[in-house]
Amino acid sequence: MTDRSKLAVFSSSLRTILVAAVLTGAHASHAQMTAMVAVDPSSPKDALGSAYVDLSVSLAKATGQDVRVDRNTNFADVLRSTRTGEYDIYVVPPHVAASALSHGYISLAATDKVETFVLVAKPGVASVKQLKGTKLYLAQQDSIYSYMAKGLLNEAGVSIHEAGDVQYKNTSGAGLIAVSLGVAHATVVRKAEYQEWARNQSTKLVVLLESKQVPAGLTILVKKTATDSQRERLSKWAVGSNPAQSGLGKLRLTTPQDSAGYEYLGGLGHFTPGQLAGVTRISAKEAAELIGQGAQMVDVRSEKEFKAKHIPGAASVPYLEKSVKDISFDAKVDDFSALDKLDKNKPTVFGCNGAECWKSYKASKVATERGFKKVYWLRGGLPEWEARGLPLAAD
């Protein structure tokens, strides 16, 4: 083959490659995006906001790409999908948004500002502790209502599993009726819902717990890997005043100030309670003072984590956590044998990986039950210690 022939073959091959690349690039730029729209059937306002608009058409116009929109009211499945990053876009209630935010998504806009939830009980129930063994009436499992119920009870030191009977239904308002009639002992609803209901009732229920302010309505999120252009297009789509353009009516862009509400909401799902009976909760500064006075610092994280960094002088007492992350955990399935090597007469501080780590909570509780004289719980753990600029050690 002559050099000219070789050059012709090479040029032809190069053209083929370039055409294929252009076509592939063009296809990629118009690749289908996926969106999950999850509305709570027990929240009529949220359901109506997206029920009558073809969001696939609306989103396609906004993004310039085909968008497949899936709808789901099974929140256990939707929450799972946020952890595995199954969708490019989410239009979901705030507790699902909180999960997505910790798994590679950013929030763009929300339909409402903030709201609070209340745990209300029938007359005669004076404290949360009295709900043990009783009947709770909640909206469907993993809805914002049941999510808040679990979180509020957990913060108060009571597990939802300690209730004798928990009934999950698809309507939140029915919970107030059930409690007022004595069919159930307590329920969780939006504070505004309860106030509106209470104005027309002669029987007043008892408000046992009230949440902090949390994001309300629906939140729109997109993967962090989305392009700047995609984010900008979706943001404009979200705040459009024409429902035919946005599909949800006029939204507001989320701001950095919203992050605290989502963090609190996300924490309710898995954070340790704020208190532990028989144990003194302390700050990192107080822990440092106690260690300086001779208290033994016990680190219950894994050996690998301890070797990477730890509090100077701490004893590494790791254990394999098998029990559920709940105040009703079964200590028999965990291995706490290492606690027997510690001096029960010395003040003892337990710590691990922060408020969402249950190991130090469980170890503190078991140590108290096993006769340790004085137990302190560094709930903020090593993250709080490090954030305070206190010294660290490593192996």
pLDDT the model gives residue 219:
93
Encode pLDDT of 170-199 as tens digits.
776 789 999 999 999 999 999 999 999 999
pLDDT the model gives residue 51:
47
Answer whether residue 102 shows pLDDT above 70: yes
Token pair of 320 as six digits: 């394999």
Encode pLDDT of 54-99 as tens digits.
788 888 888 889 999 999 988 888 988 998 899 999 999 999 999 8
User: How many percent of the chain have pLDDT more than 70?
Assistant: 86
Domain boundaries, the chain: 31-110+216-270, 117-211, 280-387
Answer whether residue 21 shows pLDDT above 50: no
pLDDT the model gives residue 40:
78
Answer whether residue 123 shows pLDDT above 90: yes
Token pair of 118 as six digits: 């209340």
Q: Give residue 71's Cα distance to chain centre.
A: 21
Answer whether residue 45 shows pLDDT above 60: no
Encode pLDDT of 247-285 as tens digits.
565 688 888 878 888 988 887 766 788 788 899 999 999
* Average confidence (pLDDT) over 23-45: 66
Q: How far apart are CA 115 and CA 113, in angstroms?
A: 7
Residue 44: other Cβ atoms inside 10 A: 14
pLDDT the model gives residue 24:
35
Q: How far apart are CA 324 and CA 320, in angstroms?
A: 12
Token pair of 349 as six digits: 């501080």
Token pair of 238 as six digits: 């979200």
Encode pLDDT of 344-375 as tens digits.
999 999 999 888 789 999 999 999 999 999 99
pTM score, two decimals?
0.67
Q: 280-387 is classed in which CATH architecture?
A: 3-Layer(aba) Sandwich (3.40)
Q: How far apart are CA 143 and CA 73, in angstroms?
A: 9
| CATH of 31-110+216-270 given 3.60.150.10, 3.40.640.10, 3.40.50.80, 3.40.190.10 | 3.40.190.10
Higher-pLDDT residue of 335 and 325 is 335
Q: Give residue 286's Cα distance to chain centre.
A: 29
Token pair of 346 as six digits: 């010395």
Answer whether residue 317 shows pLDDT above 80: yes
Encode pLDDT of 228-244 as tens digits.
999 999 998 888 755 55
Token pair of 210 as six digits: 């009230």
Q: Which of the four pLDDT bands, split at 50, 70 and 90, describes residue 30?
A: low
DSSP string, 75-141: HHHHHHHHHHT--SEEEE-HHHHHHHHTTTEEEEEESS-EE-EEEEE-TT--SGGGGTTSEEEEEST
Q: One fold for both 117-211 and 280-387?
A: no
Q: Are 91 and 279 in contact (CB under 8 A)?
A: no
Q: 117-211 is classed in which CATH architecture?
A: 3-Layer(aba) Sandwich (3.40)
Residue 386: other Cβ atoms inside 10 A: 16
Q: How far apart are CA 144 and CA 39, in angstroms?
A: 10
Comparing CA positions, the residue from 294, 337, 290, 296 lying closest to residue 318 is 337
Q: Give residue 125's Cα distance to chain centre.
A: 29
Comparing CA positions, the residue from 159, 161, 46, 193 lying closest to residue 179 is 193
Q: Are strands 33-37 and 67-71 parallel, antiparallel or unpaired?
A: parallel
Q: Is the Cα dihedral 80, 82, 88, 93 positive or negative?
A: positive
Q: How far apart are CA 286 and CA 92, in angstroms?
A: 41
